[in-house]
């Protein structure tokens, strides 16, 4: 099936005819076949390099990217919201597990239940100095602060999203990718909100544009690990409870955590265990999950 494009329109490509002055019809049949073949091979365990997808393309990010490209190149793009409005001001943006946790909670992530070596070290420091040294936390805090980049400008916004622009990049710039979990703080906001990167575009002047989907609701940081007999061998990992209203609670988990019916032990919240029900969204480094 051809994809229809109207060059004089802001509408995305569509499998249905588009009226206009400059229509184009793109035959993406061979492209669709190529992408689907590679997706099947990746599902069988073949490496991206074997499939001529690049030495620096890793799983599962490679598979996620091909799925998104297949939808947009072979099935048609997504209609942008019509209630967008011009925006102004700059947002702070944090990417990466450590930085997001710090910006959301105000503290570096620590294992809720300290291991024997850490307890011994703290006892020795109390005996020697009368207090526990904060040097380790200070180093982590500084890293977290550096990763909150303040130079993203709002181009336009809608109730559930933002179009951002970063005019300059350097060696210390935060790296972002499509499908990545991020934290952003809008001008005047008291705290950070979670979101995901939906698209990226580099313009002719070398400026980076990003489309961000914002997750609505209050956010609480928690630590999670698999429940069960062998659970004490697993490290705790950062996660988030996202509450939109009294009847809707979701979890933001590290990628690869979800399995229907899986039970997670929880530290840091009022609930000590969550049972996973269904996957709502799957990103490159996170999963949004409904609980049972």
Q: What are 223-275's pLDDT values in tens digits?
A: 999 998 776 678 899 999 999 876 788 999 999 899 999 999 999 878 889 99
Residues 44, 28: Cα–Cα separation, whole Å: 24
Domains in the chain, please, with CATH?
A: 3-74 (no CATH), 85-214 (2.40.10), 218-291 (no CATH)
* 3-state class (DSSP) for residue 282: strand
Determine if the pTM surpasses 0.85.
no
Closest residue by Cα to residue 287 from 261, 250, 262: 250
- The pLDDT score that the predictor gives to residue 121 is 61
Confidence class for position 15, pLDDT limits 50, 70, 90: confident
- What is the DSSP code (8-state) at residue 285? S
Q: Burial code of 87-99, b = ≥16 C-beta within 10 A, e = fewer?
A: beebbbbbbbeeb
Residues 30, 114: Cα–Cα separation, whole Å: 55
Residues 183, 176: Cα–Cα separation, whole Å: 11
Q: What angle do CA 225, 229, 233 make, to 5 degrees?
A: 50
Q: What are 16-59's pLDDT values in tens digits?
A: 777 777 788 888 889 989 999 999 999 888 998 999 888 877 77
Contact between residue 51 and residue 35 where contact means Cβ atoms under 8 Å apart: no
């Amino acid at each position: 099936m051809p994809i229809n494009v109207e060059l004089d329109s802001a509408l995305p490509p569509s499998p249905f005819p588009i009226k206009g002055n400059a229509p184009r019809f793109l035959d993406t049949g061979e492209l669709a076949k190529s992408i689907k073949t590679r997706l099947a091979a990746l599902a069988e365990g073949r490496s991206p390099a074997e499939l001529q997808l690049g030495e620096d393309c890793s799983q599962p990010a490679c598979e996620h990217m091909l799925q998104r490209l297949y939808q947009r190149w072979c099935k048609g793009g997504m209609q942008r919201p019509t209630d967008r409005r011009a925006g102004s001001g700059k947002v702070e943006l944090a990417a990466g597990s450590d930085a997001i946790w710090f910006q959301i909670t105000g503290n570096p992530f620590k294992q809720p239940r300290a291991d024997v070596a850490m307890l011994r070290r703290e006892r020795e420091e109390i005996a020697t100095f009368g207090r526990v040294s904060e040097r380790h936390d200070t180093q982590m805090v500084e890293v977290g602060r550096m990763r909150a980049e303040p130079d993203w400008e709002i181009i336009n916004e809608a109730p559930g999203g933002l179009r951002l622009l970063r005019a300059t990049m350097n060696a210390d710039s935060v790296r972002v990718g499509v499908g990545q979990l991020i934290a952003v703080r809008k001008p005047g906001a008291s705290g950070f909100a979670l979101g995901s990167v939906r698209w990226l575009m580099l313009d002719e002047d070398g400026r980076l544009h990003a489309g961000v989907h914002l997750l609505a609701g209050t956010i609480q940081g928690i630590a999670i690990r698999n429940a069960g007999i062998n659970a004490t061998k697993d490290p705790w990992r950062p996660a988030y409870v996202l509450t939109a209203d009294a009847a809707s609670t979701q979890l933001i988990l590290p990628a690869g955590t979800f399995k229907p019916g899986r039970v997670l032990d929880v530290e840091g919240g009022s609930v000590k265990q969550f049972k996973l029900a269904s996957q709502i969204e799957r990103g490159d480094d996170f999963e949004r999950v409904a609980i049972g």
